[in-house]
Structures are given as C-alpha cells and as structure tokens.
Amino acid sequence: MKRTPHETNSSWRTINRRALLIGGAQVGFAGLLALRMRHLQVDQADQFRLLAEENRINMRLIPPSRGDIFDRNGVVLAENEPSYRITLVPEDAGDVDDVLAKLSALVPMSEEDIARAKSEIKRSAPFLPVTILDRVTWDDVSKVAINTPALPGVTPEVGLSRKYPIGPYYAHVVGYVGPVSQRDLDRFEDPDPLLRIPRFQVGKVGIEQKYEDVLRGRAGAKRVEVNSIGRVMRELDRREGIPGSNIQITVDSNLQAYVQARLGEESASVVVMDCQSGDLLAIASSPTYDPNKFVRGISFNDYAILRDNDRRPLASKTVQDAYPPGSTFKMVTALAALEEGVIGPNDTVNCPGHLEVSGRKFHCWKRGGHGKVNLERSLSESCDVYYYDLALKIGIEKISAMAERLGVGVSHDIPMSAETSGLAPTKDWKRRVRDKDWVIGDTVNASIGQGFVLSSPLQLAVMTARLATGTAVAPRLIKSIDGTDLLIGPTPDLNVSTKNLDELRKAMYAVSNDRQGTAYRSRIIAEGFRMAGKTGTSQVRNISEAERRAGVTANEDLPWKRRDHALFVNFAPYDNPKIAVAVVVEHGGGGSAAAAPIARDITLQALYGDTPPLDAYPAKDRDAIAQLQKQIQDMMPDISASRKDRA
C-alpha cells in the first residue's frame, strides 16, 4: 500500500526523534565513561600507581644490632660477634642431594645436619634460602666461597650472634638470649614485628629479658623488587635500624669472679652491696652454668645435667630462693624490742637452755643454756631464749613491721628473674593464706628466723646495709644506659633511734671480735677493716624430743639434703661501713663454720680491691689462706682481656 507524503514525513520525524534519543544516550554514556576514565587515570593516578608498586616492591625488616652489657669498669659481659652460616636456595641448586654431597666434602657435616637440612628444604618454598650450617668457622666460609662455581645455590653469609665472654660468672645476672617462642610473643600486647623474623633472638632471663626493649633497638628496612611469585630480584634501597642501647651494671667483675671461685661447687649464694649507694658489687649463685650454650642451642643431654643437678645451677639463688634466715633475723627482733622500749641493752634474760610456752619447750641451741644474757652477749653467743622472751613481749606484728622496714619480706626492684618477696608473716597472713589462726608458738619461732619467716640473700644484704647506715638504702643493679648514669635519689632515714642502732652494731661487732662470739674464728684483725656480723643456722628438719635426749645428730652425719643451711651477714669496716655482705650456703651446717669464713674472705677482697695481705688474717690461718688464695687465683679468668672502651 502506497504511503502518502504526510505519512512518510511523520515516519521520518519519529525515526529522527528516536535516533536523537539513542544518540544522545550514547553520547551521554560515552561522556560519563570519559569522565570516569579521567577520574581513574588522572585524579586517582597516585593511588593506583602505589597499588601497582606494592605488587612488585616489598618492604623487608633489617634486624638492629643488640646493645652490649658492661660491668661497672667497662668489662664486656654481653656483646655481638660475627656469626657465619651457609645457606642454600633449592631452585638454584638443581640436584640438592648432589650439592649437599659436594658441600659435605668441603666442610664437616654430620648425617644429622644433612637430614635436618633436607627436611627444612621440603618445608620451605624453593626460592627461599635454607640454613644448612650455622656458626661455622671463617676457614669453612673461605672454602665454600672459593668453590661457589661448583656449588650452585650455596651462599656463605655473615650475621650477628650473642656472646658472653665471661658467661658463667654472670649467668644468673645478665642471663641469655634465645629464639623467639610463642610464650615470648604472648608477653606483649602488640609484639614488635622484629619478633616474627625467623631465628630472631630475645632475652630469656636476667637483664637480657628485663631490659629487652632497651637492648633490642629499632628495626631498619629495605625495599626489594620481587617477581610475581615473591622471589627477590634486586634491592632498591635501605634504611639502617637504630642499634640497641648499651647497659652498664654496678657489679665489679673482679669481685664477682672472686666470689664465684671462692664458692666453688657449693650450693650457695653471695650478695655484696655498697652501704651508701646501694650498688650491688657482686651477686653470685653457685654452681653456675655457661649461658653461651643456650644461645647456640643447648643439647638435651647438657640441659638434663643442669636440670637434674641437686645443687640447682639454673636457679638464681640470690633473688629467687627464700630461706629461713635463722639467727641473722635476731637483729630484727632485737631492734623491734628496743624501739618499743620493752627492754634495754643492759637488761638481762635468764637462759636455762629452753623456754616453755603453752606446754611446749622451745630449745636454745646450747643445751645447758647461757645463763643471764644481755643484748650484746645474746647476739654474740646467739642465745635463742633471749629472743623467745622478747617476742612474747612485743608480738609478731611489731616484729614483722620491723622486718619490712629493714627490707625483709618485700620485693626489691632489680632486673633479675623470678625475684621472691620473701615473707614477714602476720596474723592476718596466716588466716588469709593458711586458713588458720596464729598461735603463740608461731611468734616464738619467728623471733629467731624460723617458722614462717623467709628471706632471700639479697634481702639479708639490704637488711645489713640498713642496720649499718640507719638509712633505707635500696639495692641498685643498673648503673647507666648509653653512658647516662641513672640518678640516685636521696636515701630516706629509717626513723629508728640512733642509740638503739649503735647498741645493735656493737653487739654485731662482738659476734666476730669477742672471744665468745660465734664468728670469732673468722675475724678480721687488720685495723680499719674489722667487721660486724651475725651467724645464722636455719633448720630444714624437725628435731624430736627423743633425738634431743639422745643427742642431736651432727650435720656432718646427716645426708646432705637434711643438713641445716648456713648463713652469715656482715658489714665493714665497723667504724665506717662501706659494704654489706650476705652469704647462704645450702645445707652447709653451721653458719660459723661454713658461711662466716667465706664472708670474711669476700669482705677483705672487696675492701682491698685485690688479694688482701695475709696480715689481715689471724696468724694461725695465714698458711691455709695463702694456699686458698693461690687456688682461687688459678681459677679466675683474665678479666682485663674482656675490658672494652665504651666511648
């Protein structure tokens, strides 16, 4: 059917409108697309360029060098040394078995080393380096470097490892480092990314652990170009990290080495403290161990030997262990009684050999008793009954309060592991912890440092220094960080009577200088160096009435673990106190026989700063002392070889 001109014109108008609409929509869409492309390519160009860069450029952390640790005179106690290792990239090696065989012909490799390497290669990506041998010698590194054309994929590398030049003398103080464990990570709310670097090491015990954040430093970083599967192609740039801070401690290595040598293999501990500043000049536990073995990875057999040793070489006895202080605690009871005014220095108490309290006999160590004793004689001859009587007059609360004032039963803020707070018991403590009421016999036992009373050797040294100075001097182990000395604030006064302290010091002087004193045989005779002290013997077993009637079994006739602990505390010189010393010999027997001679020798060594002259000792002891001094000198290391200029 033929269309009219009108219909044809109408149809064209309709088509044109539709074309315009469609064309307009297309142009609009194209415009929007162009605007979007401009936004993406121009406005957001930097963002997408960064995303693209992140696909091919990675940031890698660079571990910082760990800070060194020095003694008070600049002797190096912990440092970093170059550590050589041999690595292998499996995909570059080709035939791994063949390469390992060639490598083992050049450097010593056990079957265990080869098996471990193959196992680690199977677990790792083929392009990642695997450590085949660690801590190899420079000679081994040289052999590998010369033969690298025949060892595809093998690379000798150098890093840093921790070293303790005189490690055994500071194992319990400085501690050691080891690989990061999950337990280490759990200690931190937001762990440093450094801790997740394979084989990164952190402090495990001692100062290495307590000052981990200070010693570790801050990581550096490097930008490396990687391909699509993460293989490093080249290093683009690097920013070195900030090394850890150096730490200087208060201990004197010559004295520390002497103390360790003097203790030998005894299960014992010694603390030497500066009475004025609180500086710990020596703090030693015996027997000790070599911390370098832990850094390198101690073997199961070596660890079992340390773990199963009855004398517990792994324990930091100076701060970790708490002992009944025995008669060294009598100064606490005496000062509490003097301060309360319940007794004067010349008042006497009769000692018939025991005191009956609530139908129970509390015995004095001297079976026949001491007769009438005053403060000086009771302390000099260590009469127990005198202190039983004082305790009944003043009560446990006054005794415990004085103990804490003197530093017993409180934790001291020094950076060593597992520090105990000891125990100065009270009635409330027993109800709360033991769910029992305090009885009068508990007070009697506490008066002579038995029963519930517990103290660490560090606390005994603090107690002695406070008695010597009349101030609340506190122990200090860290001297400086990065060469900046830590400030020592003013030492508060003990707020006890100077007259009472003088009487107590005079009684302590009699302990080692009066012929009847329990430490007379270990006296110092050099003028200006005489010491004041107190022996202590703490029981580790109950003595039955039947045994008392038959005669108490001598310590030397008992198995080692059933013998009494031997203790001695002292300060010197008596007229001008400079140092305080505390010695505990586990299961050593009597304090006068086992602990006092050790304390006397250490005191003289500390005061003279070197081997003391023989005329400082009683004439009858000089031959034996001369022989002992020679033995100790032969045992001591050459400390001067470890001295380092910290500048």
Question: What token pair was written down for 544?
Answer: 């039955």
State mean pLDDT over 266-276.
96
What whole-number distance in Å separates Cα of residue 229 and Cα of residue 223? Answer: 16
What whole-number distance in Å separates Cα of residue 521 and Cα of residue 512? Answer: 7
Which DSSP category does 363 fall into? E
Task: Quickly count: other Cβ atoms within 10 Å of residue 452's Cβ.
Answer: 19
Task: Quickly count: other Cβ atoms within 10 Å of residue 341's Cβ.
Answer: 10
46 Cβ neighbours under 8 A, 6+ residues apart: none
Q: In the prediction, which pLDDT does 93 show?
A: 81
Q: In the prediction, which pLDDT does 489 show?
A: 80
> DSSP string spanning 228-287?
TT--EEEEEEEE--BPPPPEEES--HHHHHHHHHHHTTSSEEEEEEETTT-BEEEEEEES
What whole-number distance in Å separates Cα of residue 574 and Cα of residue 501? Answer: 13
Higher pLDDT among residues 42 and 116, named by residue: 116
What are the CA-CA distances from residue 583 to residues 81, 280, 297, 534, 561 (Å)? 36, 14, 33, 11, 18
In 152-247, where does DSSP find H-type helix? 182-186, 206-210, 212-216
Residue entry with tokens 């406070």: 466
349 Cβ neighbours under 8 A, 6+ residues apart: 372, 373, 378, 383, 385, 386, 389, 390
Q: In the prediction, which pLDDT does 646 show?
A: 43
241 Cβ neighbours under 8 A, 6+ residues apart: 62, 63, 64, 217, 218, 219, 220, 221
| pLDDT, tens digit, 9 for 90 and up, residues 78-133 | 999 888 888 887 877 888 888 888 888 888 888 888 888 888 788 767 766 777 88
Query: Is 419:318 a contact under the CB 8 Å cutoff?
Result: no
Percentage helix, strand, coil for the chain under 3-state DSSP, each rounded to 5: 45, 20, 35
Question: What token pair was written down for 517?
Answer: 């004193």
Q: In the prediction, which pLDDT does 145 show?
A: 84
Query: Is 423:409 a contact under the CB 8 Å cutoff?
Result: yes
What whole-number distance in Å separates Cα of residue 191 and Cα of residue 645? Answer: 34
594 Cβ neighbours under 8 A, 6+ residues apart: 566, 585, 588
Question: What token pair was written down for 571?
Answer: 């300060």
Question: What token pair was written down for 110?
Answer: 């056990």
What whole-number distance in Å separates Cα of residue 392 and Cα of residue 606? Answer: 40
What whole-number distance in Å separates Cα of residue 224 and Cα of residue 227? Answer: 10
What are the CA-CA distances from residue 516 to residues 377, 386, 536 (Å)? 9, 17, 16
What whole-number distance in Å separates Cα of residue 304 and Cα of residue 627? Answer: 35
Name the catalytic one among 316, 327, 417, 512: 327
| pLDDT, tens digit, 9 for 90 and up, residues 302-350 | 899 999 999 999 999 999 999 999 999 999 999 999 999 999 999 999 9
Q: Is the pLDDT of residue 353 over 90?
A: yes
Q: Is the pLDDT of residue 493 over 50?
A: yes
State mean pLDDT over 245-256.
97
Polymer length of the chain = 647
Residue among 478, 501, 516 nearest 174 (CA): 478
Question: What token pair was written down for 460?
Answer: 């005994």
Chain-centroid distance of CA 40 in Å reads 59
Chain-centroid distance of CA 313 in Å reads 14
State mean pLDDT over 227-234.
56
Q: How many helices (H) and strands (E) are present in the chain, helices listed first?
A: 24, 21
Q: In the prediction, which pLDDT does 69 show?
A: 97
User: Would residue 327 show up in a list of annotated catalytic residues for this protein?
Assistant: yes
Which DSSP category does 561 fall into? G
Task: Quickly count: other Cβ atoms within 10 Å of residue 38's Cβ.
Answer: 11
If 0-12 CB within 10 Å is exposed, 13-18 middle and 19+ buried, where does residue 392 land? middle
Q: pLDDT tier at 229 (50, 70, 90 boundaries)?
A: very low
- Residue 563: HSE in the Cβ half-sphere, 13 Å Cα cutoff: 19
Q: In the prediction, which pLDDT does 433 show?
A: 95
| pLDDT, tens digit, 9 for 90 and up, residues 177-198 | 988 877 888 877 777 877 776 5
State mean pLDDT over 193-218.
86
Most confident of 3-12, 215-224, 443-452: 443-452
Q: In the prediction, which pLDDT does 563 show?
A: 86
Q: In the prediction, which pLDDT does 584 show?
A: 97
Strands 478-481 and 247-249: antiparallel
Q: pLDDT tier at 43 (50, 70, 90 boundaries)?
A: low
What whole-number distance in Å separates Cα of residue 357 and Cα of residue 334? Answer: 20
Q: Is the pLDDT of residue 146 over 80?
A: yes
Query: Is 242:63 a contact under the CB 8 Å cutoff?
Result: no
Pick the range with the lowest mean pLDDT from 122-136, 219-233, 376-390. 219-233
Query: Is 248:477 a contact under the CB 8 Å cutoff?
Result: no
State mean pLDDT over 417-430.
95
Which DSSP category does 75 fall into? B
What whole-number distance in Å separates Cα of residue 127 and Cα of residue 582? Answer: 59
Q: Which residues pair with 232 in a beta bridge?
A: 226
